[in-house]
């Protein structure tokens, strides 16, 4: 926070640059009123909820990018010697709050989405909405941890992690039913990105899933998120055990 | 000429060392191709018609061609020159008895050749296995596409060169780069085809140099440009490439002058 002007410029910059990302959706809706049955308001709702929660987890996980450097340089030794959890230390090593600009953009798109869809906000719906956002952050963070842990096995293959994190963000901007059958299955039952926003949104927006997924899936996002945290934690611990410091 | 050939070969071999990175990258490029493709399938299902010259098959082909071009065009995260500016290494590099810009260009063409072969062709093949893609039958299209590919790399290099040189004046080259990269992906036709934009916007964007990177090579691949139009498309790319390289040269001279002043 030493450089206030530079910080302010970056926040404003990321705020506006994030809108470039939304342009594709505007261009698509220039051609048709509904995409796979969903209006632009409903897509904005999905896009906004994905953007806010993904960018929030991105802030917590900024330092994951440096994990290969820590491992290769042997600096992970220091992390291990401290009497604190390894994951917590890597996460808090560097928190990049410049991304607040893009969170602001996501929040704006989300509120535009909310204002354009007709939802009567009963207490149950508010509860599902809040737990959806919390669950989404946890799912994205778990994916970050589980996939970046690959750096303990191989340094070079870490780009694979991007398919799950950035790919997950791209994928959750649109309703799950637009994807092919086997992709829907993977995103429902293997890499549970559908629970980030799609399934709870079906309930919130009062929509049916054209693919006919079980009704119960709309309400289990918090449980899925908790399960993901446990799995990610286990993978992380297994990965850390493989750490052998750097040579010589 | 032999020198540049050798530099290009080294650029190629330098990236060929990371085998697992290549496998991981192909996986990632393919996954993103799949995610993007279904949005267009939903778009055309609702539309039931073409957008301009583009039908669904064209658009699916575009998706995987643009995924294939992503690494060769290298829009993100190439800060090598900026790093030499910050470390001071650039001063010695500028003294070397060969052309500084041509050196980096040759290196980049070698890199792009590697990325085209190993990071470009495999995701396209993956896409072609799962989706009905258009493959040009006319050998002339392939020749033109290869020419268009290298011209696109030159345009991309010329822009990245200038963004890197901004390090002579600005301490936060990384910030400039991320802003530039966002603009590049949108205005080049990578995010969504420029052909899908509303008419006036499309007209404006097509007059900018960015379309030389994704939109124009894809138009050649899809054979939307034919006969004399192919030559015109390549000429536009070449024109932008030459102009931007020249602009980079002026920028380099200005930066080098500043460097001497600082060095005292």
Looking at residue B70, its pLDDT comes to 95
At a CB cut-off of 8 Å and minimum separation 6, what does B166 contact? Answer: B82, B173, B176
pLDDT given for residue A1 in this prediction: 54
Q: What are phi and psi of B9, to 5 degrees?
A: -60, -40
Query: Using one digit for the tens of pLDDT, what is the confidence trace for B20-75?
Result: 889 999 999 999 999 999 999 999 999 988 999 999 999 999 999 999 999 999 99
A102, B78, B67, B13: CA torsion to nearest 10: -160
Q: Is B54 helix (H, G, I), strand (E, B) or coil?
A: strand
C-alpha–C-alpha distance, residues B166 and A40, integer Å: 39
- Residue numbers in B near A32 (CB within 8 A): 43, 46-47
Query: Which residues of chain A neighbour B67 with C-beta distances below 8 Å?
Result: none
Q: Which tens digit of pLDDT belongs to each residue from A120-175?
A: 899 999 999 999 999 999 999 999 999 988 888 877 777 888 899 999 999 999 99
Number of alpha carbons in the 13 Å side-chain half-sphere of residue B247: 16
Given a cut of 80, is residue A11 above it in pLDDT?
Answer: no
ipTM: 0.90
- Domain containing B179 equals 2-263
pLDDT of residue A248: 47
Instruction: Compute the distance between CA of residue B78 and CA of residue B49 in angstroms, rounded to an integer.
Output: 40
pLDDT in tens, A39-83: 999 999 999 999 999 999 988 888 787 787 788 777 787 777 777
Q: Does B179 touch chain A (CB under 8 A)?
A: yes
Question: pLDDT of B79-88, one tens digit each?
Answer: 899 999 988 8
Could you report the per-residue pLDDT of B90-114, keeping only the tens digit for each?
888 888 888 999 999 999 999 999 9
Contacts of B45 in chain A (CB under 8 A): 36
Q: pLDDT tier at A247 (50, 70, 90 boundaries)?
A: low
A9 vs B contacts (CB less than 8 Å): 175
- Which residue of chain A comes nearest to B28, CA vs CA? A163
Q: How confident is the model at residue A246 (pLDDT cuts 50, 70, 90)?
A: low
Q: What is the pTM of this model?
A: 0.91
Helix (H, G, I), strand (E, B) or coil at A3: coil
Contact B43 A31 (CB under 8 A): yes
Domain boundaries, chain A: 4-241
Closest-CA distance of chain B to residue A123, Å: 34
Tens digit of pLDDT for each residue in B126-182? 999 999 999 999 999 999 999 999 999 999 999 999 999 999 988 878 778 888 888
User: Measured between alpha carbons, how far is A192 from A186 in angstroms, rounded to an integer?
Assistant: 7
pLDDT at A16: 76
pLDDT for res A110: 95
* Cβ contact, residue pair B27, A156, below 8 Å: no
Nearest beta carbon to residue A35 from set B23, B46, B197: B46
Q: Please report residues of A whose CB lies closer than 8 A to that of B170.
A: none
Give the whole-angstrom CA distance, residue A135 versus residue B235.
52
Q: B123 near B59, Cβ under 8 Å?
A: no
Cβ contact, residue pair A31, B35, below 8 Å: no
Condensed to tens digits (0 to 9), the pLDDT of residues A93-106 reads 766 676 788 888 99
Question: Per-residue DSSP letters for B12-28?
Answer: HHHHHT-HHHHHHHHHH
Chain B interface includes A181 (CB < 8 A): no
Residue of B nearest to A18 (CA): B182
Quick one: tokens of A133?
């956002």
In which band, very low, low, confident or very high, does the pLDDT at A33 lie, cut at 50, 70 and 90? very high
Q: Phi and psi (nearest 5°) for B76?
A: -105, 145
In whole numbers, what is the pLDDT of chain A averaged over residues? 88
Please give the pLDDT value at position A150.
85
A10–B175 C-beta distance less than 8 A: yes
Q: Do the Cβ atoms of B76 and B181 come closer than 8 Å? A: yes
């Amino acid at each position: 926070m030493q450089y206030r002007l530079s910080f302010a410029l970056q926040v404003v910059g990321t705020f506006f640059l994030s809108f470039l990302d939304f342009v594709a959706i505007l261009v698509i809706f220039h051609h048709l009123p509904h995409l796979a049955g969903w209006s632009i308001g409903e897509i904005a709702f999905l896009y906004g909820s994905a953007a806010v929660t993904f960018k929030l987890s991105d802030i917590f996980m900024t330092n994951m990018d440096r994990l290969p450097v820590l491992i290769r340089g042997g600096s992970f030794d220091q992390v291990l010697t401290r009497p604190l959890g390894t994951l917590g230390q890597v996460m808090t090593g560097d928190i990049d709050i410049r991304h607040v600009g893009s969170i602001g953009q996501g929040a704006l798109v989300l509120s535009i989405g909310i204002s354009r869809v007709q939802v009567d906000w009963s207490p149950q719906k508010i509860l599902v909405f809040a737990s959806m956002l919390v669950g989404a952050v946890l799912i994205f963070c778990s994916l970050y941890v589980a996939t970046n842990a690959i750096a303990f096995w191989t340094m070079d293959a870490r780009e694979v992690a991007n398919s799950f994190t950035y790919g997950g963000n791209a994928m959750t901007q649109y309703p799950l039913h637009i994807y092919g059958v086997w992709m829907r299955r993977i995103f429902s039952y293997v890499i549970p990105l559908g629970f980030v926003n799609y399934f709870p949104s079906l309930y919130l927006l009062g929509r049916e899933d054209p693919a006919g997924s079980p009704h119960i899936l709309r309400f289990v996002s918090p449980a899925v998120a908790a399960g993901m945290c446990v799995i990610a934690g286990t993978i992380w611990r297994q990965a850390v055990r493989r750490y052998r410091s750097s040579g010589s | 000429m032999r020198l540049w050939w050798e530099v290009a070969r080294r650029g190629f071999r330098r990236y060929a060392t990371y085998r697992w990175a290549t496998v991981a990258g192909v996986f990632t490029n393919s996954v993103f191709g799949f995610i993007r493709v279904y949005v267009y399938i939903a778009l055309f299902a609702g539309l039931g018609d073409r957008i301009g010259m583009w039908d669904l098959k064209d658009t699916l082909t575009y998706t995987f061609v643009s995924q294939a071009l992503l690494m060769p065009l290298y829009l993100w995260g190439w800060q090598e020159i900026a790093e030499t500016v910050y470390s001071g290494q650039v001063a010695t590099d500028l003294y070397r008895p060969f052309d500084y810009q041509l050196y980096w260009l040759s290196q980049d063409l070698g890199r792009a050749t590697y990325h085209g072969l190993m990071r470009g062709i495999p995701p396209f093949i993956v896409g072609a296995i799962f989706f009905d893609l258009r493959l040009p039958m006319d050998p002339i299209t392939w020749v033109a596409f290869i020419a268009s590919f290298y011209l696109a790399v030159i345009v991309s290099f010329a822009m990245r060169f200038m963004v890197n040189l901004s390090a002579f004046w600005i301490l936060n080259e990384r910030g400039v780069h991320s802003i530039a990269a966002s603009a590049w992906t949108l205005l080049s036709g990578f995010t969504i085809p420029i052909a899908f934009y509303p008419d006036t916007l499309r007209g404006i964007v097509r007059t900018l140099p960015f379309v030389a990177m994704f939109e124009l090579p894809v138009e050649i691949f899809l054979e939307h440009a034919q006969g004399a139009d192919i030559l015109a498309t390549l000429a536009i790319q070449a024109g932008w490439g030459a102009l931007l390289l020249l602009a980079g040269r002026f920028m380099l001279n200005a930066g080098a002058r500043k460097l001497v002043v600082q060095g005292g």
